[in-house]
């Protein structure tokens, strides 16, 4: 950038969103804010080990959360992305801070480590495993269940029973970690109707005192719903429309 252009940019006043909406000066491609918003985005799957070589996980790629993190970073926000180790999406460009996580407990610890009342928005897009293996059993010749413990469970065992326990609800602790933030959760729903999916999004908001919930999945159908704490549900056909709506919630 030339020196005269740089001097001109430095001389520009820092404008708020209301000023920009009122028609104040903004250069093409420039996003001007009174301050940079500190944002946290979680993305990708957690996994829970069965033994040292096998794990329980889900199909999340991390693509939606990574796309949101990149969108926010490109608009000048200070973004900390917590990304699952097994996410298959490319690491987004321009994101200032990236922390990788593995299990549900690992994600919870990572969030606790960056807990900060100055964070203004948390977008919890990560697909957290709802269950983790608690014990592995096999049936003996007498018909009794016997525990199996090994670094790699033998493939010669004819059958296994895996006991699953619920994992901690990460979203339940978000308000304690980020008391002043706009907190948006996610619900990927498979069964039921579109109305059922939206209703489960509202249930999440009520249960965990979040600000909004994004709903998608086969039960909702094509696109995404942004379910607010109060007011009408908004529908978006593609991720970019959703990113724009989420960014507006924290910028003005």
Segment 104-145, tens digit of pLDDT = 999 999 999 999 999 999 999 999 999 999 999 999 888 899
Query: What is the predicted pLDDT for the residue at 252?
Result: 57
pLDDT for 11 beyond 90: no
Beta-carbon count within 10 A of 34 CB: 12
Both tokens of residue 244? Answer: 């724009």
Read off the pLDDT band of 215 (50, 70, 90): very high
pLDDT for 4 beyond 80: no
pLDDT for 34 beyond 90: no
The residue ranges of every structural domain in the chain are 32-129+169-251, 131-166
Both tokens of residue 1? Answer: 């950038």
**Which DSSP string corresponds to 3-22?**
HHHHHHHHHS----HHHHHT
Domain 32-129+169-251 in CATH 3.40.50.10300? The answer is: yes
Q: What is the mean pLDDT of the chain?
A: 88
**With contact defined as beta carbons under 8 Å apart, do 217 and 196 qualify?**
no
Residue 200: partners with Cβ closer than 8 Å, 6 or more residues away? 187, 189, 215
Average pLDDT over residues 52-65: 97
pTM of the predicted protein model: 0.84
Q: Which helix (H) or strand (E) holds 249?
A: helix 239-251
């Amino acid at each position: 950038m030339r020196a005269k252009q740089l001097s001109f940019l430095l001389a520009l006043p820092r404008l708020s969103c209301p000023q920009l909406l009122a028609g104040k000066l903004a250069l093409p491609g420039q996003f001007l804010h009174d301050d940079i918003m500190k944002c946290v985005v979680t993305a990708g799957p957690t996994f829970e080990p069965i033994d040292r070589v096998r794990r329980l996980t889900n199909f999340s790629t991390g693509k939606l959360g990574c796309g949101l993190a990149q969108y926010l970073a490109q608009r000048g926000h200070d973004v900390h992305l917590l990304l699952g180790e097994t996410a298959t999406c490319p690491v987004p460009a321009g994101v200032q801070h990236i922390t990788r996580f593995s299990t549900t407990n690992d994600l919870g610890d990572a969030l606790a480590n960056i807990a900060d009342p100055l964070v203004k928005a948390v977008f919890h897009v990560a697909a957290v495993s709802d269950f983790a293996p608690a014990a592995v059993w096999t049936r003996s010749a007498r018909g009794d269940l016997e525990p199996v413990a090994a670094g790699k469970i033998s493939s010669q065992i004819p059958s296994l029973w895996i006991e699953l326990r619920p994992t901690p609800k990460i979203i339940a602790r978000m308000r304690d970690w980020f008391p002043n933030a706009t907190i948006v959760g996610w619900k990927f729903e498979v069964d039921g109707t579109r109305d059922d999916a939206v209703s489960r999004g509202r249930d999440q908001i009520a249960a965990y005192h979040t600000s909004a919930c994004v709903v998608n999945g086969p039960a909702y159908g094509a696109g995404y719903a942004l379910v607010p704490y109060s007011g009408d549900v908004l529908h978006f056909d593609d991720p970019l429309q959703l990113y724009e709506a989420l960014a507006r919630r924290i910028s003005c």
